[in-house]
Amino acid sequence: MNVLKKHLKNLDVFDMSLVKLSVAAFVLFLLKILPGFMNWLHNTNAWWFIGAFVIFAIRPIVRWFK
């Protein structure tokens, strides 16, 4: 964990946003080339994704307002 913290100190907000955008682009790439992924996405209820968003966003939001 200390190695991760050491390397994260070298990154700024712009670098972190680029990492997030690259992950989003990779997910879109996977959806494009793998028809099974696209079928799964279309057949999954949208509320599951909203639930995942809430679960993943809880900790950063709580830490932001601390």
* Range 33-52 average pLDDT: 93
- State the Cα–Cα distance between residues 34 and 36, nearest whole angstrom: 5
What letter does residue 42 receive in the DSSP assignment?
H
Residue 54 has pLDDT above 90, yes or no: yes
Query: What is the per-residue pLDDT for 7?
Result: 77
Query: What is the per-residue pLDDT for 11?
Result: 80
- State the Cα–Cα distance between residues 49 and 13, nearest whole angstrom: 25
Query: What is the per-residue pLDDT for 21?
Result: 93
Query: What is the per-residue pLDDT for 23?
Result: 94
Q: Which residues contact 29 (CB under 8 A, 6 or more apart)?
A: none
* Range 22-31 average pLDDT: 92
- State the Cα–Cα distance between residues 27 and 31, nearest whole angstrom: 6
pTM for the whole structure = 0.67
Per domain, the residue ranges of the chain are: 2-64
